[in-house]
Structure 1
Amino acid sequence: MPFEYKKVLMLGATSGIGWALAAKMIENGVSVIAVGRRQEKLDEFAKQYGSGKATVDTAAFDITKLKEIPGFAKEIFTKHPDLDCVFLNSGLQRHLDWTKPENVDLDTMEQEMLTNYTSYMHLTKAFLPYLQKQAPKPTSLVFTTSGLALVPIIYCPNYCASKAALHHMILAMRQQMKQIDSNVKIIEVYPPAVQTELHDDKHQPEFQGKGRSLGMPLDEFTEEAWAGLSADDNEQVPVQAVKTFMGFNGWEKERQGTMMKMMEMMKKSH
C-alpha cells in the first residue's frame, strides 16, 4: 500500500536520513515541511525539490530550545492544519571513553541526551494533541531510533543509551495509544549505520576521515526504509543489519512479546 499520510513535518531534514526521506516523500507526492537549524540548507532543499510532485515548506528551528517547542508546534499547525505526520529524526552521536574519565565531557553527554531523547519528549507532548484532534483521520508520530537501541557498541555508549531510552518509551507509548483506539499511529524506524555526516570528522574526529564510509549507502537505506514505511504493517521499520544480526527478528520480538504478557498480567491484577 502507498504511504498513507499526505503532509509530513520532517525534523532533521537538512542532512542525511532526514533529507533523503523527505526527498523520497516529495517524489511520491507527499508534501513536506522541512525543519532544521541551518537556514541555508533549508533554502537549498526548497530550491532543489520545491517544483516537485508535492508542496515544500521549510522552518528553521533548534529542537534543543525546549521552551520554544510549544510555540513552534502551534505555529506549524496554524499554518498547516492538515499536517498528519510528524517525523522526529534529528540526532547527534559522539564518542565516549570511560577508560579516561578525566576526558569525559559531561556537557557533551547532556547535549547528546537532550537532542536524542529529551527534546523528543517535549516535541511529542507539543504535537500529539494536534494530531489527536484530527480524529478519526489517521495521523502518525514517526521516530528514528537506531539498531544501537537494541545492541550497544563501545565507542558511542551514550548515543546507544539515548536511543535505547527512546525505544522503550516508544514501545510503551504505542500500547497506550492502542488502549484508547487512538487515531495516532506510533511508528519507529531502526536504521543501521548509514553513510551520513553523523560520522564526519567535524562531529567525531576519532574516525580520522573514515566515518563517512561506515555503514550502508544512504540511497540503499532510503529505498528500504521507504518500502517499510509504505507497507501495511509499518509500526516498526527495521532496516538491513537491524533485521539480519542485531536481534530484531529474534530476541527483540521475544522481548516485546514478554512486554505484552506483562501488560495482560497487570490488567488482571487491577
Structure 2
Amino acid sequence: MKQIALVTGATAGLGKAIAERLIHDGYRVIATGRRQERLDELAGQLGPELLPFRLDMDDAAAIAALPGSLPDGWRDVDVLVNNAGLALGMEKAQDADIANWQGMISTNVTGMVELTRVLLPGMVARDRGHVISLGSTAGIYPYTGGNVYGATKAFVRQFMRNLRCDLLGHNVRVTNLEPGMCGGSEFSNVRLRDDAKAAAVYADTKPLQPADIAETVAWVLSLPRHVNINEIELMPVCQSAGGLSVARGMKE
C-alpha cells in the first residue's frame, strides 16, 4: 500500500511544492491549510491521491480531533511534514507588536507540537513513520528584527532533537530542515505586508525555491529505514551568515 503523508501549510509555497513532489513520488497526501479554495484547486490538479483537509494550526480542538476526523483509509499517517509557519514583522523587540509575537508562537510552536503529539502515538504503535519539520537558519543565526521568529525556529530545532531521544528504539525517523533565504512563496509578503518590500528582499539574488526544499524532503524520505538525517541546514550560494556587528560611537 502507498504510504500516507500529511503536509501542513500546503496551500502555497513550500507546502504546495512538497505535496506535489510527494504525489509524484507515489505517496498519498493529506494537504492541510486554512484556505479551502486553494486546497480544492490543488486536489483538482493532483487527483484522488491528494486529500484536501482544512486545518487551522491555531485551532487546538481541531488538531486534537484530526486523527478521528480523517476518512477511513487515510488515518495511518506515515509521514508528517510540519511545514506551516510564518513570520510577522521586522521591528526590533522594543518596538514589536505583541500580537505578532503571539501569532508566530501559536502557529510555529504550539500548533506544530500539538499536531506532532496527536500523530506520533500511531507511528510508534505501527513502528514506522517519519516526522519532518521546517525549521530555519533564523533559529541558528540571529539578525535584527528576527527576535521571536528566530526563537520559534530555535524551539523547532531543539524539539526535534529531543524527539530523536524519545523515539530511540522505535523505527520512527525525525528530521529538521533549516532553509535560509527562499523565494517563490508568500513568506515575505505575509511578514512585511507590502508586496514591493517583499520583492525587494530577493532583488538581484538567486534564492532557494520551494522545489529545492521539496527535493530535499524527497531525498530524506528515500533513504533506507535505518538511516536518520537529523538536521539539514541549506542556503543559496548568494547567502551567508553575517558575522558579528559592532556599534561605534556609543555614549557611556
User: Same fold by TM-score, threshold 0.5 exceeded?
Assistant: yes
SS in 1 for 2:88: coil
Residues 83, 111 of structure 1: alpha-carbon distance in 2 compared, 3 angstrom cutoff: same
Matches for 1:142-161 after TM superposition, within 5 Å: 142-161=132-151
**1:164 aligns to 2:154 (yes or no):** yes
Shift of 1:96: 3.7
The answer to which structure has the higher helix fraction is 1
- 1:217 aligned partner: 209
User: What CA deviation, in whole Å up to 9, does each residue of 1:121-176 have, x standing for no partner?
Assistant: 111221111212212xx211111111211112223221111000111111111112
Contact 1:10–1:32 (CA<8 Å) still a contact in 2? yes
- 2:7 aligned partner: 10
- 2:173 aligned partner: 185
- What is the alpha-carbon root mean square deviation over aligned residues? 2.5
Mapped partners of 1:104, 1:162: distance in 2:
15
Residues 231, 133 of structure 1: alpha-carbon distance in 2 compared, 3 angstrom cutoff: closer
Mapped partners of 1:84, 1:174: distance in 2:
16
Shift of 1:95: 2.1
Shift of 1:234: 4.5
- 2:164 aligned partner: 174
Shift of 1:204: 1.1
Q: Match for 1:216: what amino acid?
A: L
Shift of 1:239: 4.9
Contact 1:224–1:239 (CA<8 Å) still a contact in 2? no
Mapped partners of 1:204, 1:47: distance in 2:
31
Q: Match for 1:89: what amino acid?
A: N
- 2:108 aligned partner: 116
Residues 78, 183 of structure 1: alpha-carbon distance in 2 compared, 3 angstrom cutoff: farther
Shift of 1:110: 0.7
User: What CA deviation, in whole Å up to 9, does each residue of 1:75-132 have, x standing for no partner?
Assistant: 2375523321111110011224237x3x421111011111101111111221111212
Contact 1:50–1:56 (CA<8 Å) still a contact in 2? yes
Matches for 1:1-270 after TM superposition, within 5 Å: 6-50=3-47, 55-76=49-70, 78-98=72-92, 101=94, 103-135=95-127, 138-178=128-168, 181-195=169-183, 196-200=185-189, 202-205=190-193, 208-210=197-199, 213=202, 215-232=207-224, 233-241=227-235
Calculate percent identity across the aligned residue pairs.
23
Unaligned runs of 5+ in 2: 242-252
Count of paired positions: 232
TM-score, scaled to structure 2: 0.82
- 1:252 aligned partner: none
Unaligned runs of 5+ in 1: 247-270
Q: Match for 1:75: what amino acid?
A: S
Shift of 1:13: 0.6
SS in 1 for 2:119: helix
Residues 209, 140 of structure 1: alpha-carbon distance in 2 compared, 3 angstrom cutoff: closer
Shift of 1:208: 1.6
Contact 1:187–1:236 (CA<8 Å) still a contact in 2? yes
